[in-house]
A and B are shown apart, each in its own frame.
Chain A
Amino acid sequence: MSKLREALEGGKFVVIGEIGPPKGVNIDKCLEDADNLRDRVVALNVTDLQSAVMRIGSMAVCAKLVERGLEPVFQLSCRDRNRLALQSDLLSAWVLGIENVLCLTGDHPNLGDHAEAMSVYDLDTIQLLKATSTLNQGFDMTRHELDGKPDFFLGAVATPAADPLEHEIIEMGKKIEAGARFFQTQAVYEPEKFKRFMDQVQQFKVPVIAGIVILKSAAMASFMNSNMPGISIPDSLIEEMAETKKEDRRKKAVEITIRLIRQVKPLCQGVHIMPLGWDELVPEIIKEAGFD
């Protein structure tokens, strides 16, 4: 059983990290960032062509983590693969020792660096979760029996700032019905809004891991507000960053992140720290937040 599953099913608060595979074949830095989080996080998300930018695949980096004794969460998006490729990649992932899968829709190619690509979206997230649950039961999507079945621990994404939230709640219910056993959320910056969201999703009794994205600067915050769907950073936080001198920004980023973690901790079952390049700050954040 995966450590993430064991922790969440045992009711423990989890801290998970994230690494983004590079564009190119030099993966030493990304593996080093992963090594730095050893024993500090229960698992590490590996992004799947995040923001529709072409990079090394999630599965290869997940397999590298498994080799090193680290536990990955294999992010799998519906954007680039049809149902043949999705199911095949899932079976491949299992034989490589990958046990946690996060099913996502995937940012549209228009938003990435290969905007002219044909998008696939043969299945949507809910159908992918259902298909993966079927693999777990020993069958493919067309009910052919598998010679050996996986036992994935399945997760999905939730957007606490979704509008209308009611529709997001309906979708979360369907994701659970399709096999999701945990949720990771979009970046949370407004604990009050997050609380309102959590009040509505408690009914599901499925662990929710809050997304925490390290804020690097006021410019990044404004960029995220206008370009990253489902993320809303309040002006007060942007002003706090803007008033910080450049040399003090890292310190401020750590301070804000720890504050956010402390605010969301009583509300949910874990935090998922996304460093977006400032990976070296994560060990300190985890330590200062009292998880070390």
Chain B
Amino acid sequence: MITITEQKPFEEILQSLEKNTAVYIIGCGTCATMLHTGGKSEVLTMKERLEEAGKKVTGWMVIPTACDQLTKAALVESARTIQEADSILVMACAFGVQTVGFYIEMQVYPALNTLFVGKEEGPGHFIDVCMQCGNCVLASTAGICPLVRCAKSLLNGPCGGSVGGKCEVNPDIPCAWQIIYDRLAAQGRLVELDKIEPIRDWGTSASGGPRWFNVVTSDE
């Protein structure tokens, strides 16, 4: 499971930094390095391009895991070169960008778009399997989530757009309901499809407002 990112168009990054002259670049040694979107080599290329575009790059680092609390220590350690800049460009997922912003009161800009938390289905091929809705339906869908793998998040079977096991949105996308149907059929559970799935409570999802969570330990 890794956070899938892609680099923003360079023009968009330059636009974000329009009013800034000196930039400090932070990459991430975990997901963004694996995906070649924010590892050491991408950070160095970004440095070069920003310099070509007339920006001063005061320094750079690749934090092992940018979304981690240890990011705070890394920022303190490099405080001097960071403070020489008037902005920080973060080549990590949105968790990393927000973690940096949480520990430092400087202007922080994203260099990447965060797409989804991906599951590696085959070498280098990641798919979106969970939307973190807070109300898991996998028990009745043969372990395949239709909320995120069906383009219409349908809970009671496919739409009329499922053709030859493919989705109407894109013939390269398998129809989630075809997969669910095939798995239930193989497990002798087709009869379970007769049940009308209840209406969703979206209150547990992002739609219900900002979410938070407190760990409760046994001594509390």
Majority-rule SS of B interface residues = loop
Q: Is A164's CB within 8 Å of the partner chain B?
A: yes
Task: Report, as a range, how many residues of chain A touch the other chain.
Answer: 35 or more
Report whether A229 and B162 are in contact in the complex, using a CB–CB cutoff of 8 Å: yes
Report whether B160 and A167 are in contact in the complex, using a CB–CB cutoff of 8 Å: no
A123: which B residues are within 8 A, CB to CB? 199
Q: Is A170's CB within 8 Å of the partner chain B?
A: yes
Report whether B160 and A105 are in contact in the complex, using a CB–CB cutoff of 8 Å: yes
Report whether A111 and B169 are in contact in the complex, using a CB–CB cutoff of 8 Å: yes
Q: A108-B151, A126-B156, A174-B156 are in contact. Are A83 and B199 (CB under 8 A)?
A: yes
Smallest CB–CB gap between B213 and chain A, Å? 25
Taking CB as reference atom, which chain B residue is nearest A227? B168
**1/0 contact string of B154-177 vs chain A (CB within 8 Å):** 111111111111001110000001
Taking CB as reference atom, which chain A residue is nearest B195? A174
* Residues 96-148 (chain A) with a chain B CB within 8 angstroms: 105-108, 110-111, 119, 121-127, 130-131, 141
Task: Pick the contact of A124: B151, B154, B181 (CB < 8 A).
Answer: B154
CA distance A35 to B194 in the complex (A): 42
B154: which A residues are within 8 A, CB to CB? 105, 121, 124
Q: Is B204's CB within 8 Å of the partner chain A?
A: no
Which of A2-10, A15-23, A55-63, A155-163 is near enough to bind chain B? A155-163
CA distance A204 to B172 in the complex (A): 35
Smallest CB–CB gap between A207 and chain B, Å? 19
B200: which A residues are within 8 A, CB to CB? 122
Q: Is B202's CB within 8 Å of the partner chain A?
A: yes
Q: Is A230's CB within 8 Å of the partner chain B?
A: yes
Q: Is A173's CB within 8 Å of the partner chain B?
A: yes
Report whether B168 and A111 are in contact in the complex, using a CB–CB cutoff of 8 Å: yes
Report whether A167 and B193 are in contact in the complex, using a CB–CB cutoff of 8 Å: yes
Show 25 A/B contacts (Cβ-Cβ < 8 Å), sorted by A.
Answer: A78-B152, A105-B160, A107-B161, A108-B151, A108-B168, A121-B153, A123-B199, A124-B153, A126-B196, A127-B196, A127-B197, A127-B199, A141-B199, A162-B160, A167-B177, A170-B190, A171-B156, A171-B158, A174-B194, A177-B196, A178-B196, A186-B160, A229-B161, A229-B162, A229-B163
Closest 7 CB pairs of A and B: A229-B161, A105-B159, A230-B160, A126-B156, A171-B157, A159-B160, A229-B168
